Protein backbone atom coordinates (compact mmCIF):
# COMPACT_ATOMS: atom_id res chain seq x y z
CA UNK A 1 0.00 0.00 0.00
CA UNK A 2 1.08 3.53 -0.75
CA UNK A 3 1.53 5.68 2.35
CA UNK A 4 0.70 9.36 2.57
CA UNK A 5 0.90 11.63 5.63
CA UNK A 6 -1.31 14.65 6.28
CA UNK A 7 -1.68 16.98 9.23
CA UNK A 8 -4.26 16.11 11.87
CA UNK A 9 -5.88 19.47 11.24
CA UNK A 10 -6.56 18.57 7.59
CA UNK A 11 -8.72 15.63 8.61
CA UNK A 12 -11.28 17.79 10.48
CA UNK A 13 -11.65 14.96 13.03
CA UNK A 14 -9.32 16.14 15.81
CA UNK A 15 -10.41 18.55 18.52
CA UNK A 16 -8.88 21.96 19.06
CA UNK A 17 -7.71 20.68 22.44
CA UNK A 18 -5.57 17.95 20.87
CA UNK A 19 -4.31 20.23 18.11
CA UNK A 20 -3.31 22.78 20.76
CA UNK A 21 -1.50 20.09 22.75
CA UNK A 22 0.44 18.86 19.73
CA UNK A 23 1.41 22.39 18.73
CA UNK A 24 2.71 23.15 22.22
CA UNK A 25 0.08 25.78 23.01
CA UNK A 26 1.18 27.50 26.22
CA UNK A 27 -2.33 27.46 27.69
CA UNK A 28 -1.99 23.70 28.24
CA UNK A 29 1.57 23.48 29.56
CA UNK A 30 0.48 23.75 33.24
CA UNK A 31 -1.45 20.50 32.86
CA UNK A 32 1.30 18.12 31.76
CA UNK A 33 4.89 17.48 32.75
CA UNK A 34 7.02 17.13 29.63
CA UNK A 35 6.36 17.61 25.93
CA UNK A 36 5.79 14.57 23.68
CA UNK A 37 9.20 14.85 22.05
CA UNK A 38 12.12 12.45 21.86
CA UNK A 39 14.37 14.97 23.63
CA UNK A 40 12.08 14.88 26.72
CA UNK A 41 12.85 11.27 27.59
CA UNK A 42 16.34 11.67 29.05
CA UNK A 43 15.04 13.81 31.90
CA UNK A 44 11.96 11.59 32.22
CA UNK A 45 13.90 8.38 32.79
CA UNK A 46 16.26 10.12 35.22
CA UNK A 47 13.26 11.28 37.25
CA UNK A 48 11.51 7.91 37.10
CA UNK A 49 14.63 6.23 38.49
CA UNK A 50 14.02 8.10 41.73
CA UNK A 51 10.56 6.58 42.20
CA UNK A 52 10.53 3.30 44.07
CA UNK A 53 8.90 0.60 41.92
CA UNK A 54 8.56 -2.95 43.23
CA UNK A 55 10.04 -4.63 40.18
CA UNK A 56 10.11 -8.05 41.84
CA UNK A 57 6.35 -7.96 42.43
CA UNK A 58 5.80 -6.91 38.82
CA UNK A 59 7.95 -9.69 37.40
CA UNK A 60 6.38 -12.23 39.76
CA UNK A 61 2.89 -11.27 38.55
CA UNK A 62 3.91 -11.43 34.89
CA UNK A 63 5.66 -14.79 35.26
CA UNK A 64 2.49 -16.19 36.80
CA UNK A 65 0.30 -14.76 34.05
CA UNK A 66 2.57 -16.10 31.31
CA UNK A 67 3.22 -19.47 32.95
CA UNK A 68 1.03 -21.49 30.58
CA UNK A 69 1.20 -19.21 27.55
CA UNK A 70 3.44 -19.96 24.61
CA UNK A 71 5.18 -16.71 23.73
CA UNK A 72 8.34 -15.39 22.09
CA UNK A 73 11.82 -15.39 23.57
CA UNK A 74 11.74 -11.61 23.27
CA UNK A 75 8.69 -11.37 25.53
CA UNK A 76 10.31 -13.69 28.10
CA UNK A 77 13.46 -11.60 27.94
CA UNK A 78 11.50 -8.36 28.38
CA UNK A 79 9.76 -9.72 31.47
CA UNK A 80 13.04 -10.65 33.10
CA UNK A 81 14.65 -7.33 32.12
CA UNK A 82 12.01 -5.56 34.19
CA UNK A 83 13.98 -6.63 37.27
CA UNK A 84 16.80 -4.30 36.23
CA UNK A 85 16.87 -0.63 37.24
CA UNK A 86 17.86 0.46 33.73
CA UNK A 87 14.70 -1.05 32.23
CA UNK A 88 11.70 1.18 31.60
CA UNK A 89 8.27 0.69 30.10
CA UNK A 90 6.06 2.55 27.68
CA UNK A 91 2.41 1.68 28.09
CA UNK A 92 -0.98 1.74 26.47
CA UNK A 93 -4.21 0.54 28.03
CA UNK A 94 -7.46 -0.67 26.56
CA UNK A 95 -10.64 -2.61 27.24
CA UNK A 96 -10.96 -6.32 26.49
CA UNK A 97 -12.94 -5.82 23.30
CA UNK A 98 -14.33 -8.79 21.38
CA UNK A 99 -12.02 -9.84 18.51
CA UNK A 100 -9.76 -6.86 19.44
CA UNK A 101 -12.52 -4.27 18.90
CA UNK A 102 -11.99 -1.11 16.82
CA UNK A 103 -8.87 -0.71 14.71
CA UNK A 104 -7.44 2.00 16.92
CA UNK A 105 -6.65 -0.66 19.54
CA UNK A 106 -4.18 -2.13 17.06
CA UNK A 107 -2.83 1.34 16.30
CA UNK A 108 -2.30 2.01 20.01
CA UNK A 109 -0.21 -1.10 20.44
CA UNK A 110 1.92 -0.51 17.35
CA UNK A 111 2.61 3.07 18.47
CA UNK A 112 3.71 1.68 21.85
CA UNK A 113 6.02 -0.90 20.28
CA UNK A 114 7.56 1.65 17.91
CA UNK A 115 8.17 4.09 20.74
CA UNK A 116 10.00 1.48 22.79
CA UNK A 117 12.23 0.63 19.81
CA UNK A 118 12.91 4.28 19.09
CA UNK A 119 13.91 4.91 22.70
CA UNK A 120 16.30 1.98 22.60
CA UNK A 121 18.09 3.55 19.63
CA UNK A 122 18.29 6.87 21.45
CA UNK A 123 19.32 5.38 24.83
CA UNK A 124 21.20 2.12 24.07
CA UNK A 125 22.35 1.70 27.68
CA UNK A 126 18.74 1.28 28.82
CA UNK A 127 16.04 -1.26 28.06
CA UNK A 128 12.50 -0.37 27.02
CA UNK A 129 9.54 -2.74 27.27
CA UNK A 130 6.23 -2.08 25.49
CA UNK A 131 3.26 -2.88 27.76
CA UNK A 132 -0.41 -3.42 27.00
CA UNK A 133 -2.32 -2.83 30.26
CA UNK A 134 -5.56 -4.78 30.17
CA UNK A 135 -8.63 -3.04 31.60
CA UNK A 136 -9.82 -6.38 32.97
CA UNK A 137 -11.79 -4.83 35.84
CA UNK A 138 -14.02 -2.62 33.71
CA UNK A 139 -17.66 -3.62 34.04
CA UNK A 140 -19.34 -2.06 30.99
CA UNK A 141 -19.89 -5.24 29.01
CA UNK A 142 -22.05 -3.45 26.42
CA UNK A 143 -19.01 -1.45 25.31
CA UNK A 144 -16.91 -4.51 24.49
CA UNK A 145 -19.31 -7.32 23.52
CA UNK A 146 -19.62 -6.57 19.81
CA UNK A 147 -17.75 -5.95 16.60
CA UNK A 148 -18.84 -4.17 13.40
CA UNK A 149 -18.14 -6.31 10.36
CA UNK A 150 -19.19 -5.93 6.71
CA UNK A 151 -22.18 -3.77 7.55
CA UNK A 152 -23.39 -6.04 10.34
CA UNK A 153 -22.87 -6.23 14.08
CA UNK A 154 -21.73 -9.45 15.74
CA UNK A 155 -22.66 -9.45 19.43
CA UNK A 156 -21.82 -11.72 22.33
CA UNK A 157 -24.82 -12.09 24.60
CA UNK A 158 -24.31 -13.50 28.08
CA UNK A 159 -25.84 -12.66 31.46
CA UNK A 160 -22.86 -12.25 33.77
CA UNK A 161 -22.22 -8.83 35.32
CA UNK A 162 -19.26 -7.29 37.13
CA UNK A 163 -15.64 -7.16 35.98
CA UNK A 164 -15.49 -8.32 32.36
CA UNK A 165 -12.12 -10.03 32.71
CA UNK A 166 -13.55 -13.00 34.64
CA UNK A 167 -16.39 -13.71 32.18
CA UNK A 168 -16.09 -17.31 30.91
CA UNK A 169 -15.53 -17.51 27.15
CA UNK A 170 -17.18 -20.88 26.52
CA UNK A 171 -20.41 -19.11 25.54
CA UNK A 172 -18.63 -17.59 22.52
CA UNK A 173 -19.09 -20.75 20.46
CA UNK A 174 -22.24 -19.39 18.79
CA UNK A 175 -20.56 -16.08 17.91
CA UNK A 176 -17.53 -17.89 16.50
CA UNK A 177 -19.78 -20.04 14.33
CA UNK A 178 -21.41 -16.89 12.99
CA UNK A 179 -17.98 -15.34 12.44
CA UNK A 180 -16.79 -18.38 10.47
CA UNK A 181 -19.70 -18.02 8.08
CA UNK A 182 -18.93 -14.34 7.54
CA UNK A 183 -15.19 -14.82 7.05
CA UNK A 184 -15.38 -17.20 4.10
CA UNK A 185 -12.89 -19.87 3.12
CA UNK A 186 -9.78 -18.02 1.96
CA UNK A 187 -6.37 -18.84 3.42
CA UNK A 188 -6.44 -15.60 5.42
CA UNK A 189 -9.96 -16.38 6.67
CA UNK A 190 -8.90 -19.83 7.89
CA UNK A 191 -5.87 -18.40 9.68
CA UNK A 192 -7.94 -15.66 11.29
CA UNK A 193 -10.66 -18.00 12.48
CA UNK A 194 -8.08 -20.34 13.98
CA UNK A 195 -6.51 -17.39 15.80
CA UNK A 196 -9.82 -16.29 17.34
CA UNK A 197 -11.05 -19.80 18.05
CA UNK A 198 -7.83 -20.83 19.80
CA UNK A 199 -7.67 -17.60 21.80
CA UNK A 200 -11.26 -17.64 23.08
CA UNK A 201 -12.11 -21.32 23.40
CA UNK A 202 -8.76 -22.56 24.72
CA UNK A 203 -8.83 -20.05 27.58
CA UNK A 204 -11.23 -19.98 30.51
CA UNK A 205 -12.03 -16.28 30.73
CA UNK A 206 -11.88 -13.03 28.78
CA UNK A 207 -8.67 -11.85 30.44
CA UNK A 208 -6.64 -14.93 29.49
CA UNK A 209 -8.30 -15.05 26.04
CA UNK A 210 -7.39 -11.43 25.29
CA UNK A 211 -3.84 -11.98 26.52
CA UNK A 212 -3.56 -14.98 24.20
CA UNK A 213 -4.98 -13.09 21.21
CA UNK A 214 -2.75 -10.04 21.66
CA UNK A 215 0.25 -12.27 22.31
CA UNK A 216 -0.37 -14.12 19.04
CA UNK A 217 -0.43 -10.87 17.09
CA UNK A 218 2.40 -8.97 18.77
CA UNK A 219 4.73 -11.28 20.71
CA UNK A 220 7.31 -11.16 17.92
CA UNK A 221 7.76 -7.47 18.77
CA UNK A 222 8.22 -8.18 22.48
CA UNK A 223 4.91 -6.71 23.67
CA UNK A 224 4.15 -7.67 27.28
CA UNK A 225 0.49 -7.97 28.31
CA UNK A 226 -0.27 -7.13 31.94
CA UNK A 227 -3.33 -7.82 34.09
CA UNK A 228 -2.83 -5.53 37.07
CA UNK A 229 -5.57 -7.21 39.11
CA UNK A 230 -3.03 -9.62 40.60
CA UNK A 231 -3.17 -9.69 44.41
CA UNK A 232 0.54 -8.93 44.86
CA UNK A 233 0.23 -5.86 42.62
CA UNK A 234 -2.86 -4.57 44.41
CA UNK A 235 -0.90 -4.82 47.68
CA UNK A 236 1.49 -2.22 46.28
CA UNK A 237 -1.43 0.19 46.06
CA UNK A 238 -2.75 -0.08 49.63
CA UNK A 239 -1.57 3.42 50.57
CA UNK A 240 -2.99 4.85 47.35
CA UNK A 241 -6.37 3.20 48.01
CA UNK A 242 -6.49 4.42 51.62
CA UNK A 243 -5.61 7.96 50.65
CA UNK A 244 -8.40 8.14 48.10
CA UNK A 245 -11.11 6.15 49.89
CA UNK A 246 -10.55 7.19 53.50
CA UNK A 247 -9.04 10.66 53.14
CA UNK A 248 -10.64 11.60 49.80
CA UNK A 249 -7.68 13.87 49.20
CA UNK A 250 -7.58 13.47 45.41
CA UNK A 251 -11.06 14.86 44.79
CA UNK A 252 -10.40 18.55 45.56
CA UNK A 253 -7.20 18.46 43.50
CA UNK A 254 -8.97 17.07 40.44
CA UNK A 255 -11.89 19.46 40.86
CA UNK A 256 -9.54 22.43 40.95
CA UNK A 257 -7.73 21.31 37.80
CA UNK A 258 -11.04 20.67 36.03
CA UNK A 259 -12.04 24.27 36.73
CA UNK A 260 -8.77 25.59 35.30
CA UNK A 261 -8.57 23.12 32.41
CA UNK A 262 -12.14 23.71 31.31
CA UNK A 263 -12.12 20.50 29.29
CA UNK A 264 -12.79 17.76 31.85
CA UNK A 265 -13.16 14.42 30.06
CA UNK A 266 -13.77 12.22 33.12
CA UNK A 267 -16.05 12.93 36.07
CA UNK A 268 -14.31 13.16 39.45
CA UNK A 269 -15.88 11.76 42.62
CA UNK A 270 -14.93 12.05 46.30
CA UNK A 271 -14.11 8.31 46.22
CA UNK A 272 -12.62 6.96 43.01
CA UNK A 273 -12.57 3.23 43.75
CA UNK A 274 -15.10 0.50 43.12
CA UNK A 275 -15.63 -2.53 45.34
CA UNK A 276 -15.22 -5.81 43.48
CA UNK A 277 -17.27 -8.90 44.22
CA UNK A 278 -18.10 -11.91 42.12
CA UNK A 279 -20.53 -10.66 39.50
CA UNK A 280 -20.44 -7.01 40.56
CA UNK A 281 -18.29 -3.86 40.62
CA UNK A 282 -19.96 -1.07 42.57
CA UNK A 283 -18.99 2.40 43.69
CA UNK A 284 -18.07 3.16 47.29
CA UNK A 285 -19.67 6.21 48.88
CA UNK A 286 -19.46 7.77 52.31
CA UNK A 287 -22.71 8.44 54.16
CA UNK A 288 -21.91 10.24 57.38
CA UNK A 289 -19.52 8.06 59.36
CA UNK A 290 -20.39 4.97 57.30
CA UNK A 291 -19.00 3.77 53.98
CA UNK A 292 -21.48 1.95 51.75
CA UNK A 293 -21.05 -0.14 48.62
CA UNK A 294 -23.86 0.94 46.31
CA UNK A 295 -26.38 -1.66 45.13
CA UNK A 296 -25.34 -4.02 47.97
CA UNK A 297 -25.94 -4.45 51.70
CA UNK A 298 -22.26 -3.87 52.46
CA UNK A 299 -21.52 -1.14 55.02
CA UNK A 300 -18.23 -0.35 56.76
CA UNK A 301 -17.03 1.88 59.54
CA UNK A 302 -13.80 3.71 58.82
CA UNK A 303 -11.83 1.20 60.87
CA UNK A 304 -13.50 -1.78 59.15
CA UNK A 305 -12.86 -0.35 55.71
CA UNK A 306 -9.22 0.33 56.51
CA UNK A 307 -8.79 -3.32 57.54
CA UNK A 308 -10.60 -4.43 54.40
CA UNK A 309 -8.17 -2.44 52.26
CA UNK A 310 -5.16 -3.86 54.09
CA UNK A 311 -6.36 -7.47 53.99
CA UNK A 312 -8.10 -7.57 50.62
CA UNK A 313 -6.69 -4.84 48.35
CA UNK A 314 -7.68 -6.91 45.31
CA UNK A 315 -11.31 -6.05 46.08
CA UNK A 316 -10.68 -2.38 45.34
CA UNK A 317 -10.76 -1.34 41.69
CA UNK A 318 -9.73 2.16 40.54
CA UNK A 319 -12.00 4.17 38.28
CA UNK A 320 -10.85 5.89 35.10
CA UNK A 321 -9.21 8.75 37.02
CA UNK A 322 -7.34 6.69 39.62
CA UNK A 323 -6.24 3.97 37.22
CA UNK A 324 -3.47 6.23 35.80
CA UNK A 325 -1.97 6.65 39.27
CA UNK A 326 -2.22 2.92 39.94
CA UNK A 327 -0.51 2.24 36.60
CA UNK A 328 2.37 4.63 37.18
CA UNK A 329 2.80 3.40 40.76
CA UNK A 330 3.37 -0.19 39.60
CA UNK A 331 5.44 0.34 36.47
CA UNK A 332 8.83 1.91 35.71
CA UNK A 333 6.90 3.77 33.07
CA UNK A 334 7.98 6.74 30.95
CA UNK A 335 5.09 7.37 28.57
CA UNK A 336 1.38 6.79 28.17
CA UNK A 337 0.11 6.24 24.63
CA UNK A 338 -3.56 6.99 24.12
CA UNK A 339 -6.24 8.71 22.07
CA UNK A 340 -7.47 12.25 22.44
CA UNK A 341 -9.93 11.48 25.25
CA UNK A 342 -7.22 9.69 27.24
CA UNK A 343 -4.75 12.55 26.85
CA UNK A 344 -7.52 14.84 28.06
CA UNK A 345 -8.36 12.99 31.27
CA UNK A 346 -4.70 12.37 32.12
CA UNK A 347 -4.31 16.16 32.07
CA UNK A 348 -6.82 16.34 34.89
CA UNK A 349 -4.31 14.56 37.13
CA UNK A 350 -0.94 16.33 37.18
CA UNK A 351 -1.38 17.81 40.67
CA UNK A 352 -2.83 14.50 41.90
CA UNK A 353 0.31 12.68 40.76
CA UNK A 354 2.45 15.22 42.58
CA UNK A 355 0.44 14.89 45.81
CA UNK A 356 0.84 11.10 45.70
CA UNK A 357 4.57 11.38 44.87
CA UNK A 358 4.22 9.43 41.62
CA UNK A 359 6.09 10.52 38.50
CA UNK A 360 3.80 11.95 35.85
CA UNK A 361 4.48 10.30 32.44
CA UNK A 362 4.90 11.85 29.01
CA UNK A 363 1.60 11.80 27.12
CA UNK A 364 1.82 10.68 23.50
CA UNK A 365 -1.10 10.67 21.07
CA UNK A 366 -1.35 7.29 19.37
CA UNK A 367 -0.96 7.07 15.61
CA UNK A 368 -4.13 7.30 13.53
CA UNK A 369 -4.83 6.05 10.02
CA UNK A 370 -7.31 5.52 7.22
CA UNK A 371 -7.04 2.44 4.99
CA UNK A 372 -8.51 2.79 1.49
CA UNK A 373 -8.65 -0.42 -0.52
CA UNK A 374 -8.32 -0.74 -4.30
CA UNK A 375 -12.08 -1.09 -4.89
CA UNK A 376 -12.74 2.11 -2.97
CA UNK A 377 -9.99 3.93 -4.86
CA UNK A 378 -11.58 3.07 -8.22
CA UNK A 379 -14.96 4.33 -7.03
CA UNK A 380 -13.39 7.54 -5.68
CA UNK A 381 -11.66 8.19 -8.99
CA UNK A 382 -14.97 7.88 -10.85
CA UNK A 383 -16.42 10.70 -8.75
CA UNK A 384 -13.58 13.03 -9.69
CA UNK A 385 -12.61 13.51 -6.06
CA UNK A 386 -9.44 12.55 -4.18
CA UNK A 387 -9.22 10.54 -0.97
CA UNK A 388 -8.59 13.74 0.99
CA UNK A 389 -11.77 15.29 -0.41
CA UNK A 390 -13.75 12.67 1.48
CA UNK A 391 -12.68 14.16 4.80
CA UNK A 392 -15.27 16.85 3.96
CA UNK A 393 -18.89 16.41 5.00
CA UNK A 394 -21.30 14.49 2.79
CA UNK A 395 -23.26 17.73 2.16
CA UNK A 396 -20.09 19.55 1.09
CA UNK A 397 -19.15 16.72 -1.29
CA UNK A 398 -22.62 16.81 -2.84
CA UNK A 399 -22.48 20.59 -3.23
CA UNK A 400 -19.06 20.51 -4.86
CA UNK A 401 -20.04 17.69 -7.21
CA UNK A 402 -23.17 19.51 -8.37
CA UNK A 403 -21.29 22.79 -8.75
CA UNK A 404 -18.66 21.08 -10.87
CA UNK A 405 -21.15 19.19 -13.06
CA UNK A 406 -24.02 21.66 -13.33
CA UNK A 407 -25.53 22.62 -16.68
CA UNK A 408 -25.23 26.39 -16.62
CA UNK A 409 -25.22 28.70 -13.62
CA UNK A 410 -27.90 27.83 -11.08
CA UNK A 411 -26.92 30.53 -8.59
CA UNK A 412 -28.98 33.71 -8.28
CA UNK A 413 -26.44 36.01 -6.66
CA UNK A 414 -26.40 38.42 -9.62
CA UNK A 415 -30.17 38.63 -9.60
CA UNK A 416 -30.21 39.27 -5.85
CA UNK A 417 -27.73 42.11 -6.26
CA UNK A 418 -29.84 43.65 -9.04
CA UNK A 419 -32.99 43.52 -6.91
CA UNK A 420 -31.15 45.11 -3.99
CA UNK A 421 -29.90 47.91 -6.27
CA UNK A 422 -33.38 48.54 -7.68
CA UNK A 423 -35.16 48.71 -4.34
CA UNK A 424 -32.36 50.65 -2.62
CA UNK A 425 -32.52 53.20 -5.47
CA UNK A 426 -36.31 53.52 -5.06
CA UNK A 427 -35.95 54.00 -1.30
CA UNK A 428 -33.51 56.88 -1.82
CA UNK A 429 -36.04 58.70 -4.02
CA UNK A 430 -38.71 58.96 -1.32
CA UNK A 431 -38.75 60.82 1.98
CA UNK A 432 -41.80 59.13 3.51
CA UNK A 433 -40.48 56.69 6.13
CA UNK A 434 -43.57 54.46 5.92
CA UNK A 435 -43.19 54.22 2.14
CA UNK A 436 -39.48 53.40 2.58
CA UNK A 437 -40.45 50.62 5.00
CA UNK A 438 -42.88 49.29 2.38
CA UNK A 439 -40.13 49.30 -0.26
CA UNK A 440 -37.70 47.43 2.00
CA UNK A 441 -40.40 44.90 2.89
CA UNK A 442 -41.04 44.27 -0.79
CA UNK A 443 -37.27 43.90 -1.36
CA UNK A 444 -37.10 41.29 1.39
CA UNK A 445 -40.08 39.46 -0.15
CA UNK A 446 -38.49 39.41 -3.60
CA UNK A 447 -35.15 38.18 -2.23
CA UNK A 448 -36.93 35.44 -0.33
CA UNK A 449 -38.75 34.36 -3.50
CA UNK A 450 -35.45 34.27 -5.37
CA UNK A 451 -33.96 32.14 -2.59
CA UNK A 452 -36.79 29.64 -2.93
CA UNK A 453 -36.32 29.58 -6.70
CA UNK A 454 -32.60 28.88 -6.19
CA UNK A 455 -33.45 25.95 -3.94
CA UNK A 456 -35.74 24.55 -6.63
CA UNK A 457 -33.02 24.97 -9.26
CA UNK A 458 -30.51 23.17 -7.04
CA UNK A 459 -32.99 20.42 -6.26
CA UNK A 460 -33.63 19.96 -9.98
CA UNK A 461 -29.89 19.84 -10.66
CA UNK A 462 -29.37 17.41 -7.81
CA UNK A 463 -31.98 15.01 -9.21
CA UNK A 464 -30.02 14.85 -12.48
CA UNK A 465 -26.97 13.56 -10.57
CA UNK A 466 -28.71 11.40 -7.96
CA UNK A 467 -26.91 8.19 -8.90
CA UNK A 468 -23.52 9.86 -8.60
CA UNK A 469 -24.50 11.52 -5.33
CA UNK A 470 -25.67 8.18 -3.93
CA UNK A 471 -22.32 6.68 -4.88
CA UNK A 472 -20.50 9.52 -3.12
CA UNK A 473 -22.62 8.91 -0.01
CA UNK A 474 -21.81 5.19 -0.06
CA UNK A 475 -18.07 5.84 -0.35
CA UNK A 476 -18.24 8.39 2.46
CA UNK A 477 -20.14 5.90 4.64
CA UNK A 478 -17.57 3.16 4.03
CA UNK A 479 -14.56 5.35 4.76
CA UNK A 480 -16.16 7.18 7.70
CA UNK A 481 -18.86 4.92 9.17
CA UNK A 482 -21.32 6.79 11.40
CA UNK A 483 -19.48 9.99 10.41
CA UNK A 484 -16.49 9.00 12.51
CA UNK A 485 -12.98 7.85 11.72
CA UNK A 486 -12.73 4.33 10.31
CA UNK A 487 -10.41 3.33 13.17
CA UNK A 488 -13.13 4.01 15.75
CA UNK A 489 -15.68 1.69 14.10
CA UNK A 490 -14.13 -0.97 11.86
CA UNK A 491 -12.30 -4.05 13.07
CA UNK A 492 -8.99 -5.49 11.88
CA UNK A 493 -10.75 -8.48 10.26
CA UNK A 494 -11.43 -6.92 6.81
CA UNK A 495 -7.85 -5.61 6.70
CA UNK A 496 -6.46 -9.03 7.59
CA UNK A 497 -8.59 -10.70 4.91
CA UNK A 498 -7.30 -8.23 2.30
CA UNK A 499 -3.65 -8.02 3.30
CA UNK A 500 -2.94 -10.94 5.63
CA UNK A 501 -0.58 -10.68 8.58
CA UNK A 502 1.59 -8.22 6.62
CA UNK A 503 -1.01 -5.55 7.43
CA UNK A 504 0.45 -5.23 10.93
CA UNK A 505 3.97 -5.06 9.51
CA UNK A 506 2.87 -2.31 7.11
CA UNK A 507 1.39 -0.31 9.99
CA UNK A 508 4.52 -0.75 12.06
CA UNK A 509 6.75 0.45 9.25
CA UNK A 510 4.63 3.53 8.52
CA UNK A 511 3.82 4.74 12.05
CA UNK A 512 6.15 7.19 13.74
CA UNK A 513 5.20 8.04 17.35
CA UNK A 514 6.79 11.50 17.10
CA UNK A 515 5.67 12.52 13.61
CA UNK A 516 2.27 13.94 14.64
CA UNK A 517 0.73 13.14 11.26
CA UNK A 518 -2.35 11.25 10.14
CA UNK A 519 -1.48 8.26 7.92
CA UNK A 520 -3.28 7.30 4.72
CA UNK A 521 -2.79 3.75 3.43
CA UNK A 522 -3.88 3.79 -0.21
CA UNK A 523 -4.13 0.52 -2.11
CA UNK A 524 -4.11 1.70 -5.71
Which residues does 438 contact at the CB level (< 8 Å), separation at least 6? none
pLDDT recorded at residue 159: 87
Closest C-alpha to 386, from 401, 406, 367: 401
| DSSP output for 114-144 | HHHHHHHHH-TTSEEEEEEEE-TT---HHHH
Q: Around Cβ 148, how many Cβ atoms within 10 Å?
A: 17
Q: How far apart are the first and last CA of the chain?
A: 7
Helix (H) or strand (E) holding 78: helix 73-81
At 435 the pLDDT is 87
pLDDT at 161: 86
Helix (H, G, I), strand (E, B) or coil at 6: strand
Alpha-helical regions (H) of 293-409? 302-311, 323-330, 340-346, 350-355, 374-383, 394-405
Q: How many CB atoms lie within 10 A of CB 193?
A: 18
Q: Which residues contact 196 (CB under 8 A, 6 or more apart)?
A: 99, 176, 179, 213
Asked if 277 contacts 297 with a C-beta cutoff of 8 angstroms, the reply is no
**CA-CA distances (angstroms) from residue 140 to 64, 161, 304?**
27, 9, 29
Exposed/middle/buried for residue 287 (C-beta within 10 Å: 0-12, 13-18, 19+): exposed
Residue-by-residue pLDDT tens, the chain, 524 positions? 899 999 999 999 999 999 999 999 999 999 999 999 999 999 999 999 999 999 999 999 999 999 999 999 999 999 999 999 999 999 999 999 999 999 999 999 999 999 999 999 999 999 999 999 999 999 999 999 999 999 899 999 998 889 999 999 999 999 999 999 999 999 999 999 999 999 999 999 999 999 999 999 999 999 999 999 999 999 999 999 999 999 999 999 999 999 888 766 788 899 999 999 999 999 999 999 999 999 999 999 999 999 999 999 999 999 999 999 999 999 999 999 999 999 999 999 999 999 999 999 999 999 999 999 999 999 999 999 999 999 999 999 998 998 888 765 666 677 888 888 989 888 888 888 888 889 889 989 988 888 887 777 667 666 677 889 999 999 999 999 999 999 999 999 999 999 999 999 999 999 999 999 999 999 98
Rounded to whole angstroms, how far apart are CA atoms 391 and 384?
A: 15
Q: What is residue 408's predicted lDDT score, i.e. its pLDDT? A: 56
237 near 228, Cβ under 8 Å?
Answer: no
Check if the beta carbon of residue 90 is closer than 8 Å to that of residue 115.
yes
Amino acid sequence: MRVEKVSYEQTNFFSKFILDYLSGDHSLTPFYHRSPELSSFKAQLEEKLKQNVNRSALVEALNTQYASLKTSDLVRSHIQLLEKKNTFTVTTGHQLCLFSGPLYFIYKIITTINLSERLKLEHPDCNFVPIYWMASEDHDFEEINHVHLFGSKLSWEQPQQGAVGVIPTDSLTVVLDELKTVLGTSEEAEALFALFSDSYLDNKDLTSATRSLVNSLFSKFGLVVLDAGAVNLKKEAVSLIKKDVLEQSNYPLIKEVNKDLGRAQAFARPINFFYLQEGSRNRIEQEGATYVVLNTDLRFTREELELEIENYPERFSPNVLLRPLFKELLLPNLAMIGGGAEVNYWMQLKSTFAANKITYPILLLRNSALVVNSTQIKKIQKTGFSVMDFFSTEEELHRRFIERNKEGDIGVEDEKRQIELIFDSLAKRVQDSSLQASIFAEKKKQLKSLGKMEQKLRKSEKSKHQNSLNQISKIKGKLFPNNTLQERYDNIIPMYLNYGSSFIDDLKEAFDPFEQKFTLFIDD
